[in-house]
Each structure stands twice: as structure tokens, then as C-alpha cells.
Amino acid sequence: MRRRNVPLIKVSDLKVVLRRLSAVLLFIIAFMTILLSKVDSVAIEAVHKVVMDITGPVMQVVEFPSRVIHRIYTYFYDISHIYSDNQELRAENKQMLILQNKVRTLEVENQLLERLLNYVPPAEATFISAKIIAESGDNFTNMLLVYIGDEYVQKGQIVMGDESVIGRIDKVSGHYAKVILVTDINSKIPVVIERTRVRGILSGNNTETPSLIFTRSSADIQEGDVVVTSGVGGMFPSGLPIGFVSSIKNGEIAVETMADISRVEYVRIVDYGLSAEDENLQSELMESENNAR
């Protein structure tokens, strides 16, 4: 009887081997996939770094003009705001000075008129602004020429700088007006010492420091005293600041104006309702007061 041939590897054993090989193959594939993903990530990062190194300087060069333009725009934008804020502060400062003068005047008037009845207050003042276009300062005159345009201005109206009285309108011709300064030799303004209420006349002498005249020798006047308008004659209302006593020598009282007239560029022409009769009345009162002294 013949013997049958038995296969060396059984089918069941082959299945086990194939299963193990497939498991190992899957593990290898997974490992390679992970490895390749890591390699790709590193490669991408390296490429990204190279690109950044190349494009970084280029982007800086491209963005430089925009940054410069932005800074210039910001600079001028800030300057414009600073200028507008400065203009607003100047306007507020002028209003504060006007209010300060009004308060000072009211305080003095309240002290003098608190026991009086039926007091009639002066009319409200109006004013316009005018630009100085010429000036004359010599041994004979101290004048300004201002442009008033079509505004109504008449002789005798008060001319003020930023803080104080600097003169009055002397003549009007067309769009121009001539201002006689408080320093002019022809200028005579009734004034009062704010601290002691001593009255006098501020007389120009064609110098930077007009003189305070027609005051008693025994009057209480000290250096630094503020000189304001007295309101005598009605041409100037009382309490408008003009200057302060700068020196007292040999009976001569020099007054320094609060405004630096040489640096004034714009003036305010103030109308207190003065008429020609008021100006004549002031001249008569000043003359009678001078004769009495």
C-alpha cells in the first residue's frame, strides 16, 4: 500500500503567519506615516522660516513710506488740534479778562454806590476787532493806523489791547481809523488809583511811561499801584485798567502801561455810546478839575 504525502506547512499555520505579517506591516505603515508627517512638518517649518527671512526685510521697506506718512499725518493732526485748542484758550482768556475787569469795576461801584438809590447803569458796550497796519512813534506823536473795513467807528471810542486801554479813536477816514495812544503827548485821561481811589490825569509824554499829574503831594500812591479809568466825563467807564505806577521820583509819577504797545497786532475798538456832547463834557470837567487843583 502506498504512503500519502503530508504537506510541510499546515493551512492553519499559514493563516497565523500571514496574520502576524499583516500586523507587522500595518505597524510599519503607521510608523512610516507618523515619521513622514513629522518630516513634512519640519520641512514646512524650515520653508516658512526661509520665506519669513526673505520677505521680512522686503515688507519693512514696503511699509516704511506708509509708516512715515502715518507719522506725518499724526503730527500735523496733533498740531492742528493744538492750534485750535490754543485759539479757544486765547478766546477764553480774553473773555476771562473782560469778566475780571467787570468784576473789579462792580466791586468798586458796589462799595461807592451801596447807599445810593435809583442808580442808572451805563449802556452795554460793543466792540469790533481791527488790525494795526501802521504806527508812528517819535518826539511829536504816538499814533496807530488800523483797518476797520466797513465797520462803524467814530471819534472818541476806546481802543484796547488784550488786557488794557491803549488809546482812543482820533480820526476816521473810509476804511481806516487813527488811534491816539495813551503815551501820546496829546492824550489826557481821567484815572484813579485802584487801591486808594486817588484821582488824577494820565498825561502822555511821547515816552513809554506816561505821567500821572494833578494829584496831591500828600496822596497815598505807591509803586505797583494799579491805575484804572475813573469814569469822569463819561468818555471812559470807570475801572478799565491802563497800567501801574512804575516809579515816583521828585514828585513825578511814571505809569507803565499794562499792554506792550510795541507788540500789539490787533486791537479792540469799544463803543460805550459816547457822543460828541459827552466828549465836550469830559473836556470841560477835566479843565475845571485841573483849575481846582
Contact 126, 271 (CB under 8 A): yes
Q: Which of left, alpha, beta for 197 (phi over 0: left; psi -120 to 50: alpha)? A: left
| pLDDT, tens only, 228-245 | 998 877 678 888 899 999
SS3 174: coil
The residue ranking higher by pLDDT, 78 or 155, is: 155
| pLDDT, tens only, 274-287 | 554 455 555 555 55
d(CA 63, CA 223): 65
Contact 249, 224 (CB under 8 A): no
Q: Which CATH superfamily is domain 126-292 in?
A: Rod shape-determining protein MreC, domain 1 (2.40.10.340)
| pLDDT, tens only, 169-216 | 999 999 999 999 999 999 999 999 999 999 999 999 999 999 999 888
Residue with cell 463834557: 281
Q: CB neighbours (10 Å) of residue 10?
A: 10
Per-residue model confidence (pLDDT) at position 202: 94
% of the chain surpassing 70 pLDDT = 64
Given a cut of 80, whether residue 126 has pLDDT beyond it is: yes
